[in-house]
Structure 1
């Protein structure tokens, strides 16, 4: 077993290779593991029953983890980072935009953006599909949720600056260091300025025009909260920034990984194309096709299992919390690692093998699998509000691309993972598109 170091604890080993660290910790200590990240005592809970307890049954005893607490410097009190009554209030404001009927209305935009993305690819020319899916999902989120177009490069660069500061979250007094203009801290400040400048201009334009575009931002800018009072400019900025970032990042990653898996498994890719060809009558799908493509959805599910964009969820205990004979103390951090649970052979036979049949009606073992052995969107009251949006965009995006292209890997460009706030492909995800 590793020996923790004075002051920094296990932080150097964690930062060196985060996926390997949490995997070896689970191997050495089991479902309830302990270590230290800098000054913070940490508990890694890697059993579906413990996931349910922390996120659902006893969720009131926990708050958001350290990473999202630090993310408030960019996201403020948006839906992703807010706590308690503020979170409930904001969720009530945003919820109507993610009703199933509204998502069906967004589908045409999702399909159009996916078709535009696929239409820009050059036959047999290697491309970074992750960069493509990021552009696609940024444009979709901006159009459907904010009712406008945005400079995609500004969002990409700002997000890269934001993610670069991930390693600082567990440092002592990191919240007091954020104003220092050095290294990742300077990048964090630059990214925040870019995002806030972009969002402020969109919000100001909407407020000045008084135009209701039927999107979520219109409702927030022109409407009121439950007490009849207009939202403050800070609240509008926080929600719009959160929607733009959270509304695209995880879907872009999921779709890129799904395309990677199909390229690496030509027989499954052929079956997906057969399904798409049987369902889609034109050159691209329509909104109703999202529920008629079970294999496409199974591929997305398997991508979410194998490469969960949220690879580890964090919480901080507010009260004493017993786990068997051990007691988590107030202030301790709790990590719920999707990466571990989603690859646990107790719930997933051959867990590192790509097998979409797990998700079809005859999938072996699904009846015996615990409910929370799969939680890519979290659970409980803090479950991702955009889950239905993400499923629809990923399935229709996959079908749109599969209708037009056959993908194959680029020799010498293997997938490398970079677990930051989300699980991203390091250096891009490169594939070769061939016309069908």
Structure 2
């Protein structure tokens, strides 16, 4: 029987195996589970109705959870971390950059970067496809969102420093630990310095030159003086968009490629679909076009299954601002609420054979994110829900589908013997130690 420890509560058990812990809480206590992480009382709510309550109907009664509150050290008041009027104002300014017409325009860059990265792969040699998808998505985010060439190593190194501090978020007195010049806190400040160096240089160039590259940063820097963000706000938004604009898509695409390599028959069907759409253009080296994102239903279904089986946002956190009734229990102000996508996305009540890779479940007329039959609307919420739903969701879907199709047009993938997938659930769900596959020319 689980026995919380003094001071730290269930924190050690949580940190030792986070996915197993949230799964066991659901198994032992059901849709409403209670435990303690450090000084914080925690409610784990693992039913789609509770997801809707916290993120949609009663969203104003919650703030961001402890992890993103602590992330303000790096991200400031960017869209991921800002609250209230600041969040609404920034979202209004950023929203036009993610209009469907703009995303279609970004599609050419997405395909170019996917094609360039995939063409550099060594045939028949083990390859870390996660490192490759990171490179692909960082370069795309730099070009489309910041209008600049961004050094991938700098961004990924800064992100690694940032993620290293994740485990401290729930520790007692964790805010005070941020001032210590040792361990994860030192790496966190180093990562912040790296990212801010990259972003500040891009912002300064744009302000000096007045160049409009048709990207998001140009719109923010060169917009109406009445709505213009301060230099600090520009840095916060650019930093947030650079990180969020690549991380989840890189992870999703790597997991999708892993799933195809592990299921050759599905991979063959994907090749057939891509060839049917692209091959009719008459050239052996023809590649997808931006408009093809809506003509590849199986590719989209594979991405949907990757998001379900390996949700990059594997758990969402909130902190209650007012009392909330959950069944016959009450969440008190200050309590933390965890909404675990990992648990809900693998719940057999909503997903038959929940740990099986089955893209066909998305091809029955129920698009990604929709309820189907007895499946509730919020049984699938990889991008959150409500007013704080990820603003870049359409961008991520388009990049993942086009990236998958571009790679599938060129390569057949197979697993590397002795290199199984291992998961690392930090702020996002990543493959631990890379994700290794062998690319074979088609």
Instruction: Identify the TM-score tier after normalising by the shorter chain.
Output: over 0.9
1:72 and 2:72 correspond: yes
Alignment correspondent of 2:320: 317
1:433 and 2:439 correspond: yes
Tell me which stretches of 4 or more aligned residues in structure 1 moved more than 6 Å.
Answer: none
**Within 5 Å, which residues of 2 pair with 1:408-423?**
408-423=414-429
**Within 5 Å, which residues of 2 pair with 1:10-409?**
10-224=10-224, 228-280=226-278, 281=281, 282=283, 283-361=286-364, 366-409=372-415
Instruction: Give the C-alpha shift of residue 242 in structure 1.
Output: 0.4
Q: Find the aligned partners of 2:364 and 2:338 in 1 and give their Cα distance.
A: 32
Q: Find the aligned partners of 2:269 and 2:144 in 1 and give their Cα distance.
A: 31
Q: Find the aligned partners of 1:375 and 1:230 in 2 and give their Cα distance.
A: 32
Instruction: Give the C-alpha shift of residue 362 in structure 1.
Output: 5.8
Q: Find the aligned partners of 1:179 and 1:246 in 2 and give their Cα distance.
A: 25
Q: Find the aligned partners of 2:242 and 2:136 in 1 and give their Cα distance.
A: 12
Root mean square deviation of aligned Cα: 1.1
SS in 2 for 1:101: helix
Greater shift in the superposed pair: 203-212 or 170-179:
170-179
Q: Does structure 2 retain, via aligned residues, the 8 Å contact 1:166–1:421?
A: yes
Q: Does structure 2 retain, via aligned residues, the 8 Å contact 1:63–1:317?
A: yes
Q: Find the aligned partners of 2:64 and 2:386 in 1 and give their Cα distance.
A: 13
Q: Find the aligned partners of 2:227 and 2:358 in 1 and give their Cα distance.
A: 51
Instruction: Give the C-alpha shift of residue 82 in structure 1.
Output: 0.3
What does the per-residue CA deviation read over 1:234-275, in whole Å, with 9 as the maximum and x for residues that have no partner?
A: 000000000100000000000000000000000000000000
Instruction: Give the C-alpha shift of residue 121 in structure 1.
Output: 0.2
Q: Does structure 2 retain, via aligned residues, the 8 Å contact 1:358–1:366?
A: no
Q: Find the aligned partners of 1:201 and 1:174 in 2 and give their Cα distance.
A: 31
Instruction: Give the C-alpha shift of residue 180 in structure 1.
Output: 1.0
What does the per-residue CA deviation read over 1:269-291, in whole Å, with 9 as the maximum and x for residues that have no partner?
A: 00000000000135210011100
TM-score computed with the length of structure 2 as normaliser? 0.97
Instruction: Give the C-alpha shift of residue 75 in structure 1.
Output: 0.3
Instruction: Give the C-alpha shift of residue 361 in structure 1.
Output: 2.3
Instruction: Give the C-alpha shift of residue 374 in structure 1.
Output: 0.1
SS in 2 for 1:433: strand
Instruction: Give the C-alpha shift of residue 229 in structure 1.
Output: 4.8
Instruction: Give the C-alpha shift of residue 223 in structure 1.
Output: 1.3
What does the per-residue CA deviation read over 1:202-256, in whole Å, with 9 as the maximum and x for residues that have no partner?
A: 100111111111111011111136xx15321100000000010000000000000
TM-score computed with the length of structure 1 as normaliser? 0.98
Change (3 A) 1:23 1:229: closer
Greater shift in the superposed pair: 294-303 or 210-219:
210-219
Greater shift in the superposed pair: 385-394 or 168-177:
168-177
Q: Find the aligned partners of 2:439 and 2:401 in 1 and give their Cα distance.
A: 19
Greater shift in the superposed pair: 290-299 or 173-182:
173-182
Instruction: Give the C-alpha shift of residue 363 in structure 1.
Output: 7.2
Q: Find the aligned partners of 2:290 and 2:202 in 1 and give their Cα distance.
A: 28
Q: Find the aligned partners of 1:150 and 1:363 in 2 and give their Cα distance.
A: 38
Q: Find the aligned partners of 1:389 and 1:425 in 2 and give their Cα distance.
A: 22
Report the number of matched residues: 434
What does the per-residue CA deviation read over 1:60-104, in whole Å, with 9 as the maximum and x for residues that have no partner?
A: 110000000000000000011000000000000000000000000
Q: Does structure 2 retain, via aligned residues, the 8 Å contact 1:357–1:363?
A: no
SS in 1 for 2:373: helix
